[in-house]
């Protein structure tokens, strides 16, 4: 660690750079190619010269945040790590929705976009199967896809920080229980839940968090590595996206009020989807200190799927501890890669 004088000089330098916006980190640097798109859905394939394992890995991102958290900085990139380990990595990303997407339902994603993306992936990679990975609400979508589409060649599936028991979701979910807010109370004139509403919700969960983050930043302002990581994470945390209104109405009625995921039966418009129909190898990864998707909400999933090979990975971290931070580097990423590797073939 530099001495006190040096630290103060570094603080001044980094502080000035911060105030002028000169040290904003560049995120999502892993090289990739767009292989398919439909409406706002985008399927990206990460470039690699060392694809050693099959089937390819498809990461389905959440609908409530931007996907660059999975490829934040070169040294903290979940995607970069998996590519480096020899996996053929695809990412299904959602561009921020606009009024044209307001009527997107859960079925739009589960019966249209995700199966479409899997079809495009198989064609592009020349593969016959896929390993499906869902992050946060993307995990909910992948559960519904795997359970509701037995015809899709999903060899393994994994969910990270994915809610299941909505009674355990705390403030964000309890605000929408029977007798409290209706979904339409937060849907705006464009038919979307504005990003601001999500931001305010997350801020309310930890009222002193903004202050603590600022104090942490000031304390470590001399540390270039900390500053870069901090700014990247702050940028992502403030970069929420709107949520399609129709899908939000279903989230409230099915997932929150009927707690359908926890019941194991999700009545979608086409048919009822049973989690016990998920029979492929399944990993449920969740974090003990997750304030957004508490561990108690994710935990029951392992027992609800019908797979003989269902296991869980508990992390001692928060919601994004899978992708950034010490736990991600030392525990999450290596264990996740190992789980997938043991259920894949050498190419």
Partner 1 sequence: MTSLWRQAFDALERPLAAASESWVQSKTFMDLAVVGVRMQRRLAADSQRMTEQWLHAWGMPARGDLFRLMNQVASLERQVRDLERELQTRDEET
Q: Which residues bind partner 1 (CB under 8 A)?
A: 39, 98-100, 102-103, 170-171, 174-175, 180-181, 185-186, 189-191, 204-209, 211-212, 215, 219
**Least separation in angstroms between CB 265 and partner 1:** 28
Nearer to partner 1 among residue 139 and residue 191 (C-beta): 191
Cis peptide bond N-terminal to 55, omega within 30: yes
Q: What tokens were used for 75? A: 């040294």
**Least separation in angstroms between CB 132 and partner 1:** 23
Nearer to partner 1 among residue 76 and residue 297 (C-beta): 297
Which residue has tokens 């996206």? 241
**Least separation in angstroms between CB 288 and partner 1:** 16
Backbone angles phi, psi at 94, to 5 degrees: -120, 120
C-beta contacts of 258-265 below 8 A and 24+ residues apart: 259/165, 259/166, 259/167, 261/140, 261/143, 261/163, 261/164, 261/165, 261/166, 261/301, 261/304, 262/164, 262/165, 262/166, 262/167, 262/300, 262/304, 264/304
Nearer to partner 1 among residue 178 and residue 346 (C-beta): 178
**Least separation in angstroms between CB 36 and partner 1:** 12
Nearer to partner 1 among residue 133 and residue 227 (C-beta): 227
Q: Calculate the CA 125 to chain-centre distance.
A: 23
**Least separation in angstroms between CB 50 and partner 1:** 35
Nearer to partner 1 among residue 21 and residue 207 (C-beta): 207
Nearer to partner 1 among residue 77 and residue 251 (C-beta): 251
**Least separation in angstroms between CB 177 and partner 1:** 9
Nearer to partner 1 among residue 192 and residue 237 (C-beta): 192
C-beta contacts of 167-175 below 8 A and 24+ residues apart: 167/259, 167/262, 167/297, 168/294, 168/296, 168/297, 169/256, 169/293, 169/294, 169/297, 170/205, 170/291, 170/294, 171/201, 171/204, 171/205, 172/201, 172/202, 172/205, 172/292, 173/256, 175/201
Q: What tokens were used for 60? A: 């389905």
**Least separation in angstroms between CB 251 and partner 1:** 17
């Amino acid at each position: 660690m530099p001495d006190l004088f040096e630290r103060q000089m570094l603080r001044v330098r980094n502080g000035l750079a911060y105030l002028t916006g000169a040290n904003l980190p560049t995120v999502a640097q892993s090289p990739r190619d767009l292989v398919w798109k439909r409406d706002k859905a985008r399927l990206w394939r990460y470039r690699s010269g060392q694809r050693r394992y099959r089937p390819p890995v498809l990461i389905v991102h959440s609908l409530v945040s931007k996907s660059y958290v999975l490829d934040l900085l070169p040294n903290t990139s979940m995607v970069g790590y998996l590519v480096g380990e020899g996996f053929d990595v695809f990412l299904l990303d959602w561009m921020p929705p606009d009024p044209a997407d307001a009527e997107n339902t859960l079925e739009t994603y589960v019966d249209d976009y995700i199966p479409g993306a899997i079809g495009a992936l198989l064609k592009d990679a020349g593969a016959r199967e896929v390993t499906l990975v869902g992050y946060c609400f993307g995990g909910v979508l992948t559960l519904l896809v795997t359970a509701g589409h037995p015809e899709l060649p999903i060899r393994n599936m994994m969910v990270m920080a994915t809610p299941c028991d909505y009674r355990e979701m705390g403030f964000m979910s309890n605000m929408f229980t029977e007798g409290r807010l209706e979904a339409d109370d937060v849907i705006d004139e464009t038919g979307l839940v504005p990003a601001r509403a999500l931001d305010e919700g997350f801020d309310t969960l930890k009222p002193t968090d903004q202050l603590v983050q600022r104090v942490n930043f000031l304390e470590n302002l001399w540390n270039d590595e900390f500053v870069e990581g901090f700014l990247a994470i702050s940028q992502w945390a403030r970069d929420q996206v709107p949520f399609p209104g129709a899908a939000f109405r279903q989230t409230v009625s099915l997932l929150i009020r009927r707690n359908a995921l926890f019941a194991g039966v999700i009545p979608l418009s086409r048919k009822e989807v049973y989690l016990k129909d998920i029979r492929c190898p399944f990993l449920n990864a969740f974090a003990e200190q997750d304030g957004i998707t508490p561990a108690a909400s994710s935990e029951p999933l392992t027992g609800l799927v019908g797979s003989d090979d269902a296991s869980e990975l508990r992390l001692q971290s928060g919601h994004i501890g899978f992708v950034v931070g010490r736990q991600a580097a030392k525990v999450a990423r290596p264990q996740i890669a190992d789980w997938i590797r043991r259920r894949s073939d050498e190419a």
